[in-house]
Structure 1
Amino acid sequence: MKVALLLSGGMDSLSLAWWKRPDLAFTLNYGQLAAQAEIAASRAICERLKIPHQVVEIDCRDLGSGDMAGRNADGLAPASDWWPYRNQMLVTLAAMKAISYGVTHLWLGTVKSDAFHRDGSSEFMSAISHLLSLQEGGMVVEAPAIELSTAELVRVSGIPSGFLAWAHSCHKADVPCGNCRGCNKYFEVFEEVGYDLDRPG
């Protein structure tokens, strides 16, 4: 078994990397506005944990919508950060790269609250895993933290606050905007877990 993590540089995937220590990690620059900050956060945690890290670059911004693509979300959007079929795209692109490394299991940093979007649900995870298993390589897609909230994941992972602070959650820019859903989550989780941003541990 060889495990790769789809590492976005956000709180969930950084905590999952700290907790589970995958064999390698992939970060995708698919045209999202915060790509460089996400790559930097991912690279930093991988260097700390000595996890081999690969960056995959392919510009899909013309296919995106919402905060991450720098435009208004499409009409069907349940939230301002909705990018249609994003997780399906990310899993496919990561798997296309991962198969050349002999990866058998691809992990996603999906948590309980991600079920707000259909591609963050348990049903989606089962379906996308089944789809990949039908193809060459028989890769399995798993979300080890899907039954946990982000705060619960942070606690169970044991990630120190100083390393969690490296996470980049902003949807709109490389420098946190402070008012998008990603930035709000970042501050809410620090408060819920009881970590002090001014005194990282």
Structure 2
Amino acid sequence: MKGILLSGGMDSTTLAYLEQPDIAFNINYGQLPAKAEREASRKVCRELNIQLVEIDIDCSSLGSGDLAGKGKLDVGAESDWWPYRNQLLITLSATKALTLGCKELIIGTVASDSYHKDGSPEFIDRINALISFQEGGLIITAPGIKYSASDLIKIAKLPPHLLAMTHSCHKANLPCFECRGCNKHQNTLDDLGVL
């Protein structure tokens, strides 16, 4: 069985369309846009006929940056950095995935995410080694890690109506048009020639 960590954003939605996993995991970990991410994930899963598992665990007191509505930490590269966020989300979803019989967990990371170490190929290799070393042998994959968001969407031939379901804002449940997530979303649409 194959699962995917689905935020409801462009990258994980594209990979859900391309990879057709059996199950998706959406996590409300206390991030500001949790409601919109959850709704986007629900729509995508309904459209693709993928079972959605919703995980709720409030980690907002641990967060920083745009996603937590707090200031940028000195150690993070950008305003959207939340310490160990991908490690946390992978661990939480892997824990549930293993109990449901998954053998692979797909992560929606693309090339531009490597500006944070936990979005880099090296991180994916290391977290896969750690998770797969443990009981159950669950593997972590990031099939989009070599591609830009727009290239991945082109390769997958993602239908425009699915792209329209996604939510990318880091600060709110409605796009703020100012954060790195909104900027990436707009730049990707520009690259694709979408108005």
Do the structures match in fold with TM over 0.5?
Answer: yes
SS, match of residue 131 in structure 2 = helix
TM-score norm. by structure 2 comes to: 0.98
Considering only aligned residues, what root-mean-square deviation do their CA atoms show, in Å? 0.7
Residue of structure 1 equivalent to 2:25: 26
C-alpha separation between the residues in 2 aligned to 1:133 and 1:48? Answer: 31
User: Could you report, residue by residue, the CA deviation over 1:24-43 in whole angstroms, capped at 9, with x for unpaired residues?
Assistant: 10000000000010010011
Q: Percent identity?
A: 49
For residues 1-201 of structure 1, what are the structure 2 equivalents within 5 Å? 2-196=1-195
C-alpha separation between the residues in 2 aligned to 1:58 and 1:186? Answer: 27
C-alpha separation between the residues in 1 aligned to 2:172 and 2:13? Answer: 19
C-alpha separation between the residues in 1 aligned to 2:133 and 2:191? Answer: 41
1:21, distance to aligned residue in structure 2 (A): 0.7
C-alpha separation between the residues in 1 aligned to 2:166 and 2:184? Answer: 11
C-alpha separation between the residues in 2 aligned to 1:50 and 1:116? Answer: 33
Amino acid at match of 2:71: N
C-alpha separation between the residues in 2 aligned to 1:116 and 1:90? Answer: 18
1:189, distance to aligned residue in structure 2 (A): 0.6
C-alpha separation between the residues in 2 aligned to 1:128 and 1:48? Answer: 30
Amino acid at match of 2:177: G
1:136, distance to aligned residue in structure 2 (A): 1.2
Runs (4 or more) in structure 1 with deviation over 4 Å come to none
* Runs of 5+ unmatched residues, structure 1: 197-201
* Runs of 5+ unmatched residues, structure 2: none
1:115, distance to aligned residue in structure 2 (A): 0.7
C-alpha separation between the residues in 1 aligned to 2:187 and 2:163? Answer: 13
Amino acid at match of 2:176: C
State how many pairs are aligned. 195
